[in-house]
Amino acid sequence: MGTVDDAVQAQIRNIEQATGRSIDDWVALVQGSGKTRHGEIVSWLKAEHAFSHGNANRVALEATRRSVPGGVVDPLDAIYTGAKAVLRPFHEQVVGLLRSFGDDVEVAPKKAYASLRRSKQFGTVGPGTAGRLDIGLNLPGVAATGRLEADSGMCTHRMRLSSIEDLDAEVVAWLRKAYERA
């Protein structure tokens, strides 16, 4: 199985082949459009250039990454700094798993976590305390059980994972349930 970076590069090659424009051309076009927010870029590319959601999402990610102030190329680099940097591969593993559910998964980095969306937000992923990765899930009406804890934040539930080994069948099932409900 290839890496997340391999999948991203394959998607970029497919976009370039299908459109006849390089990713740099698309980024320049987005920057020239005056659109700056991820969601508005995705909507614009879908409406004006007939992009699929997944391809519009990729171009929007590339465009927003290149325009982040302060020289940070990838917003996730700002989230996973210092002691939290060791959690970045774990984060990528979770995102790779989610993208295997469908090409409509949108990962939108915020200041301290990444929002996970389809038609609406279904979860979050980001560094937690004590070297753990926290996954927030929107599962209204579902009782907390085991590692699926009730949460009063932006998601209804949370799971705290200490290592990639914690990303087991139970966690995958909860992730899929939240994804399917969105």
pLDDT of residue 72: 45
Entry field: residues in the chain? 182
- Determine what percent of the chain is predicted with pLDDT higher than 70: 93
- How many Å apart are CA 58 and CA 54, to the nearest integer? 6
Q: Which two tokens stand for residue 124?
A: 């979050």
Beta bridge partners of residue 150, listed in sequence order: 157
Q: What is the mean pLDDT of the chain?
A: 88
Model pTM? 0.61
Task: Read off the pLDDT of residues 92-133 as tens digits, 9 standing for 90 and up.
Answer: 999 999 999 998 999 988 888 999 999 899 999 999 988 999
pLDDT of residue 71: 42
* End-to-end Cα, the chain, rounded Å: 27
pLDDT of residue 79: 87
- How many Å apart are CA 38 and CA 132, to the nearest integer? 27
Span of 1-5, 82-86, 88-92, 97-101 with lowest mean pLDDT:
1-5
